[in-house]
Amino acid sequence: MGPSLTRRSMLRAAGVTAAGTAATFTLSGASTGAEAPVFAHGVASGDPMPDSVLLWTRVTPSADATPGSGVGPPVDVRWEVAGDAGFTDVVARGHARTGPERDHTVKVTAGGLCASTVYFYRFTARGRTSPIGRTRTAPAHDEDVARLRFGVVSCANWAVGHFAPYGYLAGRDDLDAFIHLGDYLYEGAPNPVGDLRPSLPPHELTTLSDYRQRHAMYKTDDHLRRLHARHPMIATWDDHEAADNAWSGGSPSHDPATEGDWLDRMRAAHQAYFEWMPVRHRGDRLFRRLKFGKLADLTMLDLRTYRTRQPEPGSAEDPEGTILGADQRQWFLEGLAHGTASWNLIGNSVMVTPLKIPALPTREKLALGHLLDGQPTTVNTDQWDGYTADRRRVLAAVAAQRRGNTVFLTGDVHSSWANDVPRDGTSVAVEFVCPSVTSDNIDEQLGVPPRTGSLQVEAAIRALNPHVRFVELDSHGPGVLEVTPDAVRMNWYYVADRRDPATAVTFAHGFRTVAGEPWVRPANG
């Protein structure tokens, strides 16, 4: 009998893997002893509001001031925001000072901007100018918005593929922002066999220097750099930004005897994330809500920092168990109760839909074609299925509004899903799950060609879970979410070959939900 079809065994890569060494790879983009590029890691913007947007860059003031080195002089950086790419209409400017204490990263809030407006921005330091970034502010809170479009992505394992899904989104002109639902990076050690790209540092991340280096490495990917420079980002983290299956008190992959105190590691991971990502936060608090006129509220949850330990499958429910934590839960429930936007979008790193999972077959059992016969099922307790008390509270609050306007946007499981979210046998919300950018899917886990053995697994999942309206377990790519007053639609786009940086990205599937009717239906066209 094969192992359980859990997130770990079925849908996820076993941590980040990278073959070979990175001896010739320099994060600063310069060889030792040569003058380093001042802006080697590009520019980014994030968390757009009607009158402001967050701007980000990283300065390399000297060749030895590589990410994570802790060395290098302080440097003054100027920034400008303009209404045109030629910067003849500068509408905001300022300066910031950075140094090794924040890994020479720069994050500033550019305020005094107009709502629903495209802007261009740049940084200057040491007589050099950064690449020009493009961003967009959110609509005014009282604006009647006709349409929003967001890119939706998660789970980008550097070692196993190129980030062409990011490049696809960077090439679109019609996005208001892109939403990243976690696993922006992977913390694992390199794997010497079969990896496409080497990783830095060449070991599992445990220290602040380690996490800084890995963040910097990701921002050397051309597809990701172009996406950051083209559209504002709205992000939350999942587990691999710190460690696999992380919870508030540890991780199954963290050994205190050899890797030190877990809280020190988590604090290091969070500090590097806040330094290197264009996200707004208050202290260590990442959960937040962004408004897009009267059309949509977007709530971004943090489902790692406050959760209790994942229960074992089949164990009794822990009455004190929580995936949200008390403070975030109260904030979230109050937001659900008082929201007035046409649509309630929830950035949610792990699946909320209840899911019975069939046992993962071997290739030999797949050939027999009897996947459900006598096979046990399990649940993935790293998802909301491990925290059913919190889920009951949340879905009760959604049902109490009687509006049929809640859409969960989810990553984590490296596959594509469109689900009705049931409460007491009735759907009260829908969930759209985007696939991974590159991280292993079931065909790669099973070692079978795409769209072969996985078809039986998909059929078994749908038979066990009739509220799953669509599931596709093999493909990589981005989603694009379109929001109008009448409906929310998710389109899935798939890459032809994750190992090819120039691979084709094509439309594959579309599903939608209609206002007031909280269930999934196929989208036409």
Does residue 523 lie within any of the structural domains?
Answer: no
Identify the helix (H) or strand (E) that includes residue 518: strand 517-522
Task: Transcribe 115-134 into DSSP letters.
Answer: TT-EEEEEEEETTEEPPPEE
Task: Transcribe 319-386 into DSSP letters.
Answer: TT--SS-HHHHHHHHHHHHH--SSEEEEEESS--S---EEBPPPHHHHHHT-TTTT--EE--TTSGGG
Helix (H, G, I), strand (E, B) or coil at 77: strand
Does residue 112 lie within any of the structural domains?
Answer: yes
Write down the pLDDT at residue 375.
63
Contacts from 72-77 at CB under 8 Å and sequence distance 24+?
A: 72/99, 72/100, 72/104, 73/99, 74/98, 74/99, 74/100, 75/99, 75/104, 75/125, 75/126, 76/125, 77/106, 77/123, 77/124, 77/125
Using a 10 angstrom Cβ sphere, with 0-12 exposed, 13-18 middle and 19 or more buried, the burial of residue 446 is buried
Strands 479-483 and 148-153 turn out to be antiparallel
Q: Within 13 Å and on the Cβ side, how many CA atoms surround 134? A: 18
Count of domains for the chain: 1
Does residue 478 lie within any of the structural domains?
Answer: yes
Does residue 2 lie within any of the structural domains?
Answer: no
Order of strands, sheet of 288-292, starting from the edge strand that comes earlier in the sequence: 288-292, 296-300, 343-348, 406-410, 426-433, 416-423, 468-472
CA dist., res. 367 & res. 466, Å (int): 25
User: With b meaning 16 or more CB within 10 Å and e meaning fewer, what string describes 114-144?
Assistant: ebbbebbbbbbbeeeebebbbbbbbbbeebe
Angle at 291 between CA 287 and CA 294, to 5 degrees: 150
Q: Which of 72, 63, 153 is nearest to 105 (CA)?
A: 72
Write down the pLDDT at residue 58.
98
Q: Tokens at residue 304, please?
A: 């790692």
Angle at 258 between CA 266 and CA 204, to 5 degrees: 60
Q: Tokens at residue 508, please?
A: 């594959």
Write down the pLDDT at residue 374.
54
CA dist., res. 442 & res. 62, Å (int): 44
CA dist., res. 171 & res. 148, Å (int): 17
Task: Tell me the pLDDT of the chain (525 aa) as tens digits.
Answer: 333 334 433 333 323 222 222 322 333 333 334 567 899 999 999 999 999 999 999 999 999 999 999 999 999 999 999 999 999 999 999 999 999 999 999 999 999 999 999 999 999 999 999 999 999 999 999 999 999 999 999 999 999 999 999 999 999 999 999 999 999 999 999 998 889 999 999 999 999 999 999 999 999 999 999 999 999 999 999 999 999 999 999 999 999 999 999 999 999 999 999 999 999 999 999 999 999 999 999 999 999 999 999 999 888 888 899 999 999 999 999 999 999 999 999 999 999 999 999 876 666 555 545 455 556 788 999 999 999 999 999 999 999 999 999 999 999 999 999 999 999 999 999 999 999 999 999 899 888 899 988 898 899 999 999 999 999 999 999 999 999 999 999 999 999 999 999 999 999 999 999 999 999 999 986
Question: Going by C-beta distance under 8 Å and a sequence separation of 6 or more, which residues neighbour residue 162?
Answer: 196, 197, 221, 223, 438, 498, 499, 500, 501, 503
Write down the pLDDT at residue 317.
80
Does residue 12 lie within any of the structural domains?
Answer: yes
Using a 10 angstrom Cβ sphere, with 0-12 exposed, 13-18 middle and 19 or more buried, the burial of residue 159 is buried
Q: Tokens at residue 80, please?
A: 């400008």
Write down the pLDDT at residue 365.
56
Q: Decide if 216 contacts 27 (C-beta within 8 A).
A: yes
Does residue 1 lie within any of the structural domains?
Answer: no
Domain assignment of residue 502, given as a range: 7-518
Q: Tokens at residue 498, please?
A: 């994750």
CA dist., res. 509 & res. 416, Å (int): 9
Does residue 330 lie within any of the structural domains?
Answer: yes
pTM for the whole structure: 0.93
Q: Which of 524, 499, 384, 386 is nearest to 438 (CA)?
A: 499
Q: What is the CATH number of the domain that holds 59?
A: 3.60.21.70
Does residue 122 lie within any of the structural domains?
Answer: yes
